[in-house]
Amino acid sequence: MHITRTAIQFRANPGRVILRYLSLHGPHRVPHIAKRIDHMSEPEAEALLAQTRSLFADRHRRLDAVFRQHFAESTQRHPAPEHWPDNRRLLLGACMTMEYSTQAAALFNPSMVRHPDQSGLPEGAIRFIMSLRATGESHISSIEFRTGVLTADGAIQLDELTPYATRSAKNWQKTYTKDFVRERLRYFLHTSETILDELPDRFTATEAVQIMTTLPESGRHSRFHESQKALLEILDTNYDLVCEPDVPLTERVIFPNAKGESKGMEDVRFVQFTDEDGTTCYYSTYTAYDGETIKCQLMETTDFVEFRVRTMYGDGIQDKGMALFPEKIDGNYVMLSRQGGEFINIMFSEDLHVWDTWQTLAEPAFGWETVQLGNCGSPIKTEQGWLVLTHGVGPLRRYAIGVMLLDLQDPTRVIGRLAKPIIEPLESEREGYVPNVVYTCGWLRHQDQLIIPYAMSDSACGIITLSFQELLDELQKKNM
């Protein structure tokens, strides 16, 4: 079986920066900054703002709009002087803004799907989207994208990057219903639905926080604090976000938007999902990390402009590495998982957001996967069965990527499995942020070609191609 390592590589670019709000410790910091700005003469304030614009305007889109947003955020508790002209408001907003290098530490763990827009292409070509995990200062992970075209003859053409990176925005106007919260409250211990009595039928997260924090002690029942904590967590991690539609996808950065993922959105696995009625959308699982605990999140989009982010619940939601099948089987959603951290497991559920039971699908069987075995993204459907990329960890935490084949009708049955990995770290790939690792979060089939974007020691990404038919032939030889 011939495997081709293409010459394409992606490396972390520390010059890729977004704008973030500058959080300062201490309640007096913002008033002190505002006081200094207020004491400036008009020429001084105008000169400092002009200098700031000249230094940063060519690095970001809509710089003044971000300054205005950060001015509004910084003055919620400490209003600025009413007499301030626009330039001083912008200057305070600029002082409360920082650049953040999304790729300062690493760029790795890609996944790949067909682009929702396949218009204007030559016959036999398809457009693709590649997601990447970018890690920056303080080891915070975010989601970034590359796009390109797979030609009819198998060539890979990447779209050019623009000089900008633009952060997606959380939709703070999203409204929730009591039923939405009630369905999720039951997965939290020591809570009471009576907390919902204090809320209107429809409410935003901001409105709920205001009501909960101003409720008098007389209105707080014995389970109030646990219930309040659960309510705020539900509203925090179940949200919608939107990207600016006129900003190219390769510019868009999905940065943590919730406290529950404040330290990172890790290892996103995108899949194009076809429902029973033939409609398609894109789902992705990812691991949300707040510095102490993890949550398994599910993101949904149809256009990569607007996204719905929801937490998954149930006894089966443990550990990392969830990967959704691209369609239902016998009316159930199907998910690969890794409860316990050692085996590949499989789950079935009628509810996309609730997973209660699992069973072991595959255990480590070969030397290169002695330590643990997991999936490397969503399966690919073929007439012969479900193709699953796996990762195995062997001695000295050396990662390699293998393949197995699952029965099409009964994916709990492994009907083929390669004894040797198809991707191992080369000598040139083993050094990096995390040595001796090759890893991917998803692959794509185009005609007879399988395209696997993969990370090298968490420091760069490359692309491997191989023949779909040759791989199937090998798997059928190794029928287990």
The residue type at 115: H
Mean pLDDT of 164-168: 96
Q: Using CA atoms, how far apart are residues 455 and 432, in angstroms rounded to an integer? A: 11
Q: Using CA atoms, how far apart are residues 264 and 253, in angstroms rounded to an integer? A: 13
Q: Using CA atoms, how far apart are residues 453 and 131, in angstroms rounded to an integer? A: 10
Given a cut of 60, is residue 480 above it in pLDDT?
no
Q: What is the pLDDT of residues 106-149, one digit of tens each?
A: 999 999 999 999 999 999 999 999 999 999 999 999 999 999 99
Given a cut of 70, is residue 155 above it in pLDDT?
yes
Q: Is residue 137 within 8 Å of residue 100, measured between CB atoms?
A: yes
Buried b (16+ CB within 10 A) or exposed e, 73-95: ebbeeeebeeebeeebbbbbbbb
pLDDT at 221: 72
Angle at 364 between CA 360 and CA 367, to 5 degrees: 175
Q: What are phi and psi of 135, to 5 degrees?
A: -125, 130
What residues does each domain of the chain span? 3-12+102-168+243-477, 17-101, 170-237
Percent of the chain at pLDDT exceeding 70: 99
Query: pLDDT band for position 220 (50/70/90)?
Result: confident
Least confident stretch, 207-216, 242-251, 335-344, 365-374: 207-216
Q: Using CA atoms, how far apart are residues 425 and 171, in angstroms rounded to an integer? A: 41
pLDDT at 218: 67
Mean pLDDT of 419-448: 97
pLDDT at 478: 57
Q: What is the pLDDT of residues 283-303, one digit of tens each?
A: 999 999 999 999 999 999 999
Given a cut of 90, is residue 325 above it in pLDDT?
yes
Given a cut of 80, is residue 273 above it in pLDDT?
yes
Contacts 24+ apart (CB under 8 A), 418-423: 418/474, 418/475, 418/478, 419/366, 419/478, 420/366, 420/368, 421/368, 421/392, 422/1, 422/3, 422/464, 422/466, 422/471, 423/3, 423/452, 423/454, 423/464
pLDDT at 215: 83
pLDDT at 219: 64
Q: Is residue 169 within 8 Å of residue 152, measured between CB atoms?
A: no
Mean pLDDT of 168-181: 96
DSSP string, 26-54: STTHHHHHHHHHHHS-HHHHHHHHHHHHH
Query: pLDDT band for position 93 (50/70/90)?
Result: very high
Q: Which overall architecture, per CATH, does domain 3-12+102-168+243-477 show?
A: 5 Propeller (2.115)
CB atoms within 10 A of CB 14: 12
- Global pTM value: 0.96
| Positive/negative CA dihedral, 43, 48, 49, 50 | positive
Mean pLDDT of 347-376: 98
Mean pLDDT of 384-399: 99
Q: What are phi and psi of 75, to 5 degrees?
A: -105, 15
pLDDT at 250: 98
